[in-house]
Amino acid sequence: SQQGEEDPQALSIQEGENATMNCSYKTSINNLQWYRQNSGRGLVHLILIRSNEREKHSGRLRVTLDTSKKSSSLLITASRAADTASYFCATDEGSGAQKLVFGQGTRLTINP
Amino acid sequence: AAGVIQSPRHLIKEKRETATLKCYPIPRHDTVYWYQQGPGQDPQFLISFYEKMQSDKGSIPDRFSAQQFSDYHSELNMSSLELGDSALYFCASSFVTGYTFGSGTRLTVV
């Protein structure tokens, strides 16, 4: 199975609610990133958390990283219809510029 | 600010034809990556180049080849196209750390 597996695969919530998506990985990492992708469009970088960080915030986004459990979570607070998209985690296994290994993604639907 | 430019945005080819995708990285970025994303799938790493030399190779079919030129742009060449090659192909560039993805080329093989 792949590095960076995501849970749940699909999530549907009401506007204004919080959305939490989880990601697990298998190997040691240098950092973990979260990306957003609108249907069939490009990958938009949301946030990067380094292996020595435990939590990071950016606007309505909160990312946590637990290297002992090899897992990360992305929380989107006060969700909006425009947050509807697929969200992927991606891990970078080495130092310096390295390929990214993506998880399968969570399809998030925000219902107005 | 300049982003990663990919061309073309859309491409339709018939089976067994050849396709060439181009990627223009952000100026001064020294590493280029190619990813393939099939319908409903996560992006899969294909190949990367650092300073015009291949630096890593993923699940890239033998029918595909790529190179990075002296101006740092990269081209992904795909021959004997198959229906299963229909996908979104992303290029990304980086310098030390930090990725920037292009908007992708959607290849449809009919």
Sorting pLDDT into bands at 50, 70 and 90, what band is A95? low
Res A2 pLDDT > 50 = no
Count of alpha carbons within 13 Å of B69, Cβ hemisphere only? Answer: 9
Q: Which amino acid is at A77?
A: T
Query: Nearest residue on chain B to A100, judged by CA atoms?
Result: B45
- Listed by number, the residues of chain A in 62-91 with a beta carbon closer than 8 Å to a beta carbon of chain B are 88, 90
CA pair distance B110, B107, nearest whole angstrom: 10
Work out the average pLDDT over A73-98: 88
Find, in chain A, the residue whose alpha carbon is nearest to that of B5: A42
Q: Residue A1 — very low, low, confident or very high, per pLDDT cuts 50/70/90?
A: very low
CB A6 within 8 A of CB A102: no
A99 in B contact zone (CB under 8 Å) = yes
Residues of B in contact with A2 (CB under 8 A): 42
> Which residues sit opposite B64 in a β-bridge?
B78
Confidence of residue A94 (pLDDT cuts 50, 70, 90): low
CB-based contact (8 Å) between B96 and chain A?
A: yes
| Reported confidence tier of residue A97, pLDDT bands at 50, 70, 90 | low
pLDDT per residue as tens digits for the range B55-110: 999 989 999 999 999 999 999 999 999 999 999 999 999 887 678 999 999 999 99
**Which tens digits make up the pLDDT trace of A21-42?**
999 998 888 899 999 999 878 8
